[in-house]
Amino acid sequence: MTLRGFVLLPLLLLAACSAEEHEVAEPVRPVRSMVVEAQRPMGFSLPGTVEPRIESRLGFRVLGRIVTRNVETGDTVARNDVLAELDPTALDLAVRSAEADYISARAQLAEAAGVAFRQSELLQARAATQANFEAADRQRRTAEALAASNEAKLAKAREQRSYAELRADFDGVVLATYAEVGQVVNPGQPVLTLARPDIREAVVDIPDEAAALLTPGMSFNVFLELDRNLRVVGTIREIAPSADPATRTRRVRISLDNPSADFRLGSTVRVTPGQEMPLVIRVPDTAVLTEGDNSFVFIVDEQAGVARKQAVKVEPAPMGGKIVVSGVESGSRIATAGVHTLRDGQAVKLGGGGL
């Protein structure tokens, strides 16, 4: 062996040792994990009140002073009943003035029409000029327009006079009054609230976490607070899109199905779900890896000892965390921390100190 061979041999051995070091298996990584279970949210029993679905705040369309108010809170009224009246003096004078203007305009029209007719007769007899006839006909058309204008003003004045009476638009019950006799009210200012008592619903404030699991059309049992033996079935009609910032509750309106007369407006009721709440899988935020518009979790395969990347569909859960809509089955074990540094197929082991 030459001197050159003795020099190269140690270098080759050193290179082989370096290659063996690179081929050493990656250490098994400990991870924190949890077994997810589909759970049914706890039921609830919450108080609410019976309210009308349809209610209107009624007010006069014209400015005036109230001279009569024929109803009080709680009164039942029929459609077209007079609920309150304004002092009609100014409106009556406006009608009389419009009537006088209309009568005057009609008289001017009759006179102008007569003049135009005579001028046409004279024109045919060649006793008047074409210019005289055209002037008379122009006066007739002007008087016609003035009469039409005054007729419209009279109709408007009479309509304004009818606004001095506040009438009920439908059969209902008076929920509240806001103005008294002698008070001057502006156009549109609320005088009273009228509600339809035939269409009733229960209004209840439900915690945000529970309300997020509700959907319109779900069935509820509604009990009268004074007598729990009185029950009516209702369905969710409306769920507030956002929670009240102070109470963190959402207002839910439940339509009552043929309620008895005992469920009067303003009655206190007790509301409970009429069907079981849906099963949901809830995971912490730290278990979800977000890449663009896609979400993933790492399912720990305990037998193979690896973490597998799984695409999932999630929704925000009230009070924090995520609700898994699809992609993970109940009973699966998922990594709950360090998901941003995990790789698909990476060797892992269960350990509370992992990241």
Residue type, 106: R
CB atoms under 10 Å from CB of 352, counted, come to 8
Look at residue 283 in the predicted model and tell me its pLDDT.
87
Q: Is the pLDDT of residue 20 over 60?
A: no
- In this structure, what is the dihedral angle of CA atoms 62, 66, 68, 72, given to the nearest 10 degrees? 90
Determine the Cα–Cα distance for residues 140 and 145; give it in Å rounded to an integer.
9
Angle 332-338-342 from CA coordinates, rounded to 5° = 75
144 CB-near residues (< 8 Å, 6+ apart)? 109, 112
Instruction: State pTM to two decimals.
Output: 0.60
Look at residue 10 in the predicted model and tell me its pLDDT.
54
Choose between 22 and 310: higher pLDDT: 310
Domain spans of the chain?
Answer: 29-38+280-350, 46-52+199-273, 60-86+164-195, 89-162
CATH no., domain 29-38+280-350: 2.40.420.20
Choose between 42 and 201: higher pLDDT: 201
CATH no., domain 46-52+199-273: 2.40.30.170
Look at residue 319 in the predicted model and tell me its pLDDT.
60
Look at residue 15 in the predicted model and tell me its pLDDT.
52
Determine the Cα–Cα distance for residues 193 and 55; give it in Å rounded to an integer.
7
Separation in Å, CA 83 to CA 51, 57, 87: 22, 12, 14
Look at residue 239 in the predicted model and tell me its pLDDT.
94
DSSP state of 287: G
Look at residue 352 in the predicted model and tell me its pLDDT.
52
The 10s digit of each residue's pLDDT in 178-202 is: 999 999 999 999 999 999 988 999 9
Choose between 278 and 90: higher pLDDT: 90
Q: Is the pLDDT of residue 353 over 50?
A: no
CATH no., domain 89-162: 1.10.287
The 10s digit of each residue's pLDDT in 54-82 is: 999 999 999 999 999 999 998 999 999 99
> Which stretch of 21-25, 36-40, 216-220 has the lowest confidence by average pLDDT?
21-25
Alpha helices in the chain (DSSP H): 3-22, 89-124, 130-162, 208-211
The 10s digit of each residue's pLDDT in 307-340 is: 888 898 887 775 667 888 888 888 889 888 888 8
Q: Is the pLDDT of residue 6 over 50?
A: no
Residue type, 248: R
Tokens describing residue 195:
């509600």
Q: Is the pLDDT of residue 233 over 80?
A: yes
Angle 213-217-222 from CA coordinates, rounded to 5° = 90
- pLDDT tier, 279 (very low <50, low <70, confident <90, very high otherwise): confident
Q: Do domains 29-38+280-350 and 89-162 have the same CATH topology?
A: no
CATH no., domain 60-86+164-195: 2.40.50.100
Cβ-contact 65, 46 below 8 angstroms? no
